[in-house]
Structure formats: structure tokens, C-alpha cells
Copies of this chain bind each other. A is one copy, B any other.
Amino acid sequence: MKSTFPTVLRELLRTHQAFLSYAASHVQKLDLTLPQFDIIITLGNTDGLPYKILGEKTLITKGTLTGVISRLEDKGLVQRDASKTDGRSQIIRLTETGYALFERTFPEHLLFINRLFDNYSPEDVINLEAALKQLHEAVISLRSEEQEKIVDDTEA
């Protein structure tokens, strides 16, 4: 059996790692970590987001999110407000300083990142996205199969 594991999936890990370190190199100049800047970006052009949504958009789990938000709060870039409609929920929004940082740095960051695709044809972009989605869906599909197995075992 020819194993696709070492070749294709290693390449996924390598590409991911390379991209993160590329993106981080830009963000570090702002004295922010990548997750921190990701929060800033995600909050930009919104009127604040509940904790939960913020975690879903940035792919940061809630236990981690508390720490990241706290550090941004310490830096004065973000603030927590209690939700008016749900007593459990916190709304995170950019402070004035945070919004100013967003406006000042986001366009340049976008250029920096999009430079990766300078030599891409439109088809290349489509292919990449399609290939990633195909793998993503395969993972999700198998993961839910595994989940069902566990449920079956519990019931049995």
C-alpha cells in the first residue's frame, strides 16, 4: 500500500507552519502575537462580538481565549462589556486605541499576506481552496463517524 500520509500531510503541516511564521514576522513588529492580532482583525469593522462567536471565527477555544483577551485588555486594545440580553455573555469590542491600531495596520497586513498570491492565477486560487475544502470535509466526515462509534459504545 502506498501511503499518502508522510508526503501529502507533512506538506500540509510544513505549509501551515511556514505561513504562520511568515504572518507572525509581520505582526511581531506591532508587539502582538498572531492570535492577538487575529482578534483585532476579527473585531475590526464590527460593533463588538460575543465571546463565543469570537472563538469560532478565530478558531481559538474558550479556555485559551480568556488569556488572549485578557492580555489585549491589559494593552488597552480591547474591552469587555456584559451583554444586555444574556447574563452569561460578554461582548468584546475594540477600544479607541484598538480601533486606531486596526485602521493603521490592517491594510498593510492584508497587502503583506496577499503578496503570497502575486504569482497565482485565478484558477490556482480556486484549486487551492477546493483541495483544502475536500480534505477538510474528509476529516469532518470521519470525525463524525468516530463520534457515532463512541455513542454506540456508550449505549451498548
Chain A residues engaging chain B, CB cutoff 8 angstroms: 1, 3-5, 7-9, 11-19, 21-22, 25, 59, 110, 113-120, 124-125, 127-129, 131-136, 138-140, 142-143, 146
Q: Which residues of B contact A120 (CB under 8 A)?
A: 4, 134, 138
How many Å from the CB of A141 to the closest CB on chain B? Answer: 9
Number of copies: 2
Nearest Cβ in chain B — how far from A14, in angstroms?
6
In the complex, chain B residues whose CB is within 8 Å of the CB of A142? 22, 115-116
Determine if B125 and A138 form an interchain contact, defined as CB atoms under 8 angstroms apart: no
Can you show 30 pairs from A to B with CB atoms below 8 A apart? A3-B114, A4-B125, A5-B110, A5-B114, A7-B129, A8-B125, A8-B128, A9-B113, A11-B133, A12-B15, A12-B16, A12-B19, A12-B132, A13-B16, A15-B135, A15-B139, A16-B16, A18-B139, A18-B140, A18-B143, A19-B135, A22-B142, A25-B146, A116-B135, A116-B139, A117-B138, A119-B138, A120-B134, A124-B131, A128-B134
Cα A62 to Cα B51 with chains together (Å)? 35
- Closest residue of chain B to A18 (Cβ to Cβ) is B139
Verify A134–B139 contact, CB threshold 8 A. Answer: no
**Docked-complex contact A127 and B116, CB < 8 angstroms:** no
Q: Which residue of B lies closest to A117 (CB)?
A: B4
